[in-house]
Amino acid sequence: MKLVDELFAMYQDKITDEEDLDMITFAVLEHYNKKELMQIVRDMNEFELQYFIRMYLLESLKGKMEQAEFHDQYPPNDSKFYH
């Protein structure tokens, strides 16, 4: 994808870990509105679009699993009285 290639070229010497990637992606997305983001999606070829959706699904499912594990380890305390 053109945007990924451009971002990598600009930041490749500055990226040291995943936290850097998070900061870069959030900063970039702040500058796009919905119409511009949809245009990026429309410009994707079929492989890029499938990869994009696959990554979205994968990360979303990981998040759901982490939430479920957290709630299993620390169930909500519905008691109104604390001892």
Give 1's pLDDT tier (boundaries 50, 70, 90): confident
Domain definitions of the chain by residue range: 1-43, 45-74
| Cβ count near 21 (within 10 Å) | 13
| More confident of the two residues 33 and 1 | 33
Indicate the angle between helix axes 18-29 and 2-11, nearest 10 degrees: 120
Q: Is residue 37 classed as helix, strand or coil in its secondary structure?
A: helix
The pLDDT score that the predictor gives to residue 78 is: 63
pLDDT single digits (tens) 21-72:
999 999 999 999 999 999 999 999 999 999 999 999 999 999 999 999 887 8
- Look at residues 47, 36, 53, 55 and name the one whose alpha carbon lies nearest to residue 1: 47
The confidence score (pLDDT) of residue 72 equals 80
